[in-house]
Structures are given as C-alpha cells and as structure tokens.
Amino acid sequence: MIEQNVSLRPYNTFGLDAQAKLMARVNSIQALQEVLADSRLKSEERFILGGGSNILLTRNVDGLVIKNEIDGIEVIDETPSHFLVKSGAGVVWHELVMHCIANNYAGIENLSLIPGNVGAAPMQNIGAYGVELKDVFHSLKAVDMASGSVHSFSSSDCDFGYRESVFKRKLKGQFVITSVTLKLSKNPNVNTSYGAIEQELEAMRISSPTIKEVSQAVINIRQSKLPDPKELGNSGSFFKNPVVPTSKYEELKSQHPNIPGYPAGENTKLAAGWLIEQCGWKGKVVGNTGSHAKQALVLVNYGNATGVEIFELSEQIMQSVYDTFGVQLEREVNVY
C-alpha cells in the first residue's frame, strides 16, 4: 500500500517535520522489487529510509520514500572459529548487537547503542571504541533500484573507508541494502584499549570482561555523554573526526599542546569534538538548535528546529574550526 502526504517526524532521530509525498513500507525483497517495478511510481524520485538516524532533512521529499522494514536474524553458516550471522536491513542495529551478545557471537560489542538500522551500517562503515563494521563484515545483499535485480557485495566490493563505502560514493542512490552478513567469533578477543572503556570497566570493578560487560561499559559511556534521541532530537556524531597529515598535527600541537591525536596509518586522526569545543560551541544554544552540553560533536533539536537551521549551525561550526585550526570538518550525516 502506498501512503500519501506522510509526516517524516517519527522516522528521523532529529525529529524534523518534513513531509513525504508518497511512502511505501517494504518487509521483503519481493515487496521492494514490486514497488520498484510499479509503473505508476517510475517517475517519482526514490528516497530510501531506514532508522533515520543519519539524515538531516532540510526539505520535504517530493517523491517516494521507501521505508526499509526487512526483518530477521539467523546463523547461516559456521566454522570451528566463527558464526556467519545474517540480519535483515530493517533490524535495529542495537537489537542485533544485543542478540549476538546473548548468543555469545563476539565482535560487535564495542558498537553497542549506535543508533540506526542494520542496512545503514555498511553504508557508512559505522565504528566506535576501536572497532569498525569492516572488521567483522562478511557480505551483503542489495537490490539494484533501476533493474530490481539482487546483487551480492563482498568486503572489497564495498570499498570501506573511514565512515565511507562505495554506497556513499560511486553507487550512491543506486542500491537498496536488504541484508548484511557478519563474521563473528566463537572465541571472544575483547578490545578495551580505546577511549574510556578500561576506565569504565575499572569503575564497574571488572578485570577480565566478557563481551556482555564490554557492551555494558560502552552503553554506560555513551549514555553519560550522548542524549537519547527520544528525549532530545539528534543524529549522534554530526561530524567525522578529521584525518590530517602527521606534519599538520605536529604543527597544531606546537600551537595547542593539549590537542589529542590518534595514529591513522601515515596520518593522524583529530578529535572533532575537541576542536569544536575549543571554538566555544559546546553547550551553545542557537535559536532552536545547538551543540550538546556534554558532547560538542552532537548537534541537537531543542523542539522546533528546522533542518535548514541545523544545517546553518553546522556551517558556522565548520567555518570557525577552519578559521581557528586550518582543519576542514566533514559532516557524518547525510543532508537531504
């Protein structure tokens, strides 16, 4: 069934009240193929919507929103050391993480509480606390929006980068991801070295953590500094952490001795939140939007913000970081 004139406020975590001219909900590959083949809809712009956690809507969608609700989690194969776990693209990412932890499938515990659905995870190669999706990725299936044919993508096909993949570049807007298969370990090798995980585990009085305890530490950290989108509209980290030549980092360090930096191959990754905070944005309210008081990297909707208002704030922040540090920030969210 095709719905008309649908408010997208409940379907994006910023809580922005954009309108969709048409909306179709699909819960299977066949349902998706039928919508894509419908001759009445051929001329409509197509807009794929998952969990709505990585989108900034600056205008109405004058076309067809396809809401991906493909469900299901199953083990499709196993080896002596790994499980292959397949998830529908419409599954909430954190629910997949909790399912895997409950069954002792290890590898994505550090990615607990990341908002959004499974289908978006490979699009931007989600990552947190020293782990990226590409570390556990096996394959995905996606439907070509032009032909309706189903394609399989390996890790190399996806061309993963830092919060990047082929689906954000060369193949942008051409495929709908329908399922993702992860290669998860039977023998947990927990990663607690990044960020505040070790400190949090210490506070929890845990010295030899299970994957469930690592997950709980990550949840505690995220909840302590990131607002719940149900209470305060946001899309999590709005900007990517910039990666600069190490020579640029050394130059910045000579001027700003406290600037944090993390090795990234031959380059150095900077902390976007720190840069934004140094420019005076942390906790600053601008009209109906602002930078969150506990994490400068998170832009929020205080109730009646428009997408344009949030976009304009992001422009101001990017300009001030560039003027102060000579570093160009990039948005992590997709702007529509």
SS (H, E, C) 261-319: EEEECCEEEECHHHHHHHCCCECCEECCEEECCCCCCCEEECCCCCHHHHHHHHHHHHH
Whole-number pLDDT of residue 157: 97
Q: Are 111 and 127 in contact (CB under 8 A)?
A: yes
Whole-number pLDDT of residue 185: 96
> Which of 155, 159, 156, 198 is CA-nearest to residue 180?
155
Average the pLDDT over each of 47-51, 108-112, 315-319 and give the range with the smallest value: 47-51
Instruction: Read off the pLDDT band of 194 (50, 70, 90).
Output: confident
Domain 73-185 has CATH 3.30.420.480: no
Answer yes or no: is pLDDT of 265 > 90: no
Active site residue ranges: 163, 237, 332
| 175 burial via Cβ count (<10 Å: 0-12, 13-18, 19+) | buried
For the chain, give the mean pLDDT: 95
Q: Report the number of secondary-structure helices (H) and strands (E) in the chain.
A: 9, 20
Mean pLDDT along residues 270-280: 97
Tens digit of pLDDT for each residue in 7-51? 999 999 999 999 999 999 999 999 999 999 999 898 999 999 988
Query: Would you state the CATH architecture of domain 2-68?
Result: 2-Layer Sandwich (3.30)
> Which of 284, 328, 277, 335 is CA-nearest to residue 14?
335
Half-sphere exposure of 204 (CA within 13 A, CB side): 21
Cα 269 off chain centre by: 18
CATH of 233-335, one of 3.40.50.800, 2.40.128.50, 3.90.78.10, 2.40.30.170: 3.90.78.10
The pTM for the full model equals 0.86
Angle made by CA atoms 294, 243, 183, in degrees to the nearest 5: 85
> Which of 87, 90, 88, 86 is CA-nearest to residue 117?
90
Mean pLDDT along residues 279-293: 97
Instruction: Read off the pLDDT band of 193 (50, 70, 90).
Output: confident
Q: Are 240 and 163 in contact (CB under 8 A)?
A: yes
Tens digit of pLDDT for each residue in 127-160? 999 899 999 999 999 999 999 999 999 999 999 9
> Which of 58, 47, 60 is CA-nearest to residue 7?
60
Q: Are 163 and 332 in contact (CB under 8 A)?
A: yes
Whole-number pLDDT of residue 155: 97
Q: What are the angstrom distances between the C-alpha of 332 and each of 30, 147, 149, 164, 222?
A: 31, 29, 29, 9, 18
Q: Are 321 and 279 in contact (CB under 8 A)?
A: yes
Residue-range domain boundaries for the chain? 2-68, 73-185, 233-335
Whole-number pLDDT of residue 100: 98
